[in-house]
C-alpha cells in the first residue's frame, strides 16, 4: 500500500495544490515516524485504510473519513490526555483560508465537511456510539486490532507498552487493566453491526486474556 499516493490523491480531490500536498505529506510522515511510536505509526494507518477500502461503499462521506484516518493520531503523546483534540484541531488547520469560521468551506476547495472531520477524530478518544454512522465506521476501523489473532494482538499490546515505557509497571498495569475493563463493561466494543458480527467475540476474548496477564 502506497500511503503517499493515497494521501496525495485525496488532498488533490479536496482541492490542495501540489506544493501544499507535498509539504503536508512530509509533515504527516514525520509525525507518524517518530521513534516513540511503536504502534500509533504508519503501519496503523495502513491497517485502518485497508478496512476503509473494504467498507468504502458503506460510507456517506468517504473523503472525510479517509482524511480523518490520516490525521486521527497526528498528535500523540503517552503522557497527554488531549491527543485527539489536538489532532482534530491540527487536521482542520491545514485548510488555510482567511475566513473567521475555520469550519466554513473555503473558496478553492471542493465540498468538504471539516466539522465532520473534527468530530470524527475527537470521537476516537472515547470510542462510543455516535449518531453519525460514518464516525462509527471510523471508530471500528481504529479498534479492529482488538480482534486480531492472539499472536498479532500480543504484538499490539507489547507495542503499546513500549509507548508507555515512561511509566513503571506498578502504574501502567492498573491503568491498562482499567482501560481494557472499560471496553468489556460496554454493551458492545464495536459500533457497527458489521464489525460486531465479525469481531466482537474475538475482541472480548483477547481483552480478557490480556487482563489476566497483567493483573
Q: What is the dihedral of CA 11, 117, 203, 172, to 10 degrees?
A: 100
Domain hosting 59: range is 3-214
Lookup: cell for 178: 482499567
Confidence (pLDDT) at 136: 98
**pLDDT value at residue 105:** 47
Divide the 215 residues of the chain into consecutive groups of 10 and give the mean pLDDT of each group. Answer: 97 92 97 96 98 98 97 94 96 72 49 94 94 98 97 97 96 96 95 97 98 94
Site of grid cell 463493561: 185
Supply the pLDDT for residue 95. Answer: 87
CATH code where residue 174 lies: 1.10.1300.10
- The count of domains in the chain is 1
Contacts of 30 (CB under 8 A, 6+ apart): none
Q: Which residues contact 122 (CB under 8 A, 6 or more apart)?
A: 84, 85, 88
Q: How far is 112 from 132, CA to CA, in rounded Å? A: 16
Rounded CA gap, 66 and 140, in Å?
13
Specify the DSSP class assigned to residue 190: -
pLDDT at 171: 96
For residue 109, what pLDDT is reported?
58
Amino acid at each position: 500500500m502506497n500511503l503517499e499516493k493515497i494521501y496525495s490523491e485525496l488532498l488533490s480531490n479536496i482541492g490542495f495544490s501540489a506544493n501544499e500536498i507535498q509539504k503536508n505529506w512530509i509533515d504527516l510522515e514525520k509525525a507518524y515516524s517518530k521513534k516513540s511510536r511503536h504502534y500509533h505509526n504508519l503501519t496503523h494507518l495502513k491497517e485502518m485504510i485497508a478496512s476503509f477500502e473494504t467498507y468504502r461503499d458503506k460510507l456517506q462521506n468517504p473523503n472525510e473519513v479517509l482524511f480523518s484516518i490520516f490525521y486521527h493520531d497526528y498528535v500523540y503523546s503517552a503522557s497527554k490526555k488531549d491527543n485527539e483534540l489536538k489532532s482534530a484541531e491540527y487536521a482542520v488547520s491545514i485548510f488555510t483560508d482567511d475566513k473567521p469560521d475555520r469550519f466554513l468551506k473555503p473558496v478553492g476547495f471542493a465540498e468538504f465537511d471539516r466539522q465532520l472531520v473534527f468530530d470524527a477524530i475527537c470521537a476516537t478518544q472515547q470510542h462510543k456510539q455516535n449518531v453519525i454512522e460514518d464516525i462509527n465506521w471510523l471508530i471500528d476501523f481504529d479498534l479492529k486490532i482488538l480482534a486480531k489473532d492472539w499472536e498479532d494482538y500480543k504484538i499490539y499490546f507489547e507495542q503499546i507498552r513500549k509507548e508507555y515505557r515512561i511509566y513503571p509497571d506498578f502504574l501502567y498495569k492498573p491503568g491498562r487493566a482499567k482501560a481494557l475493563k472499560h471496553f468489556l463493561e460496554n454493551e458492545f466494543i464495536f459500533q457497527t453491526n458489521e464489525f460486531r458480527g465479525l469481531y466482537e467475540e474475538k475482541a472480548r476474548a483477547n481483552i480478557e486474556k490480556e487482563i489476566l496477564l497483567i493483573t
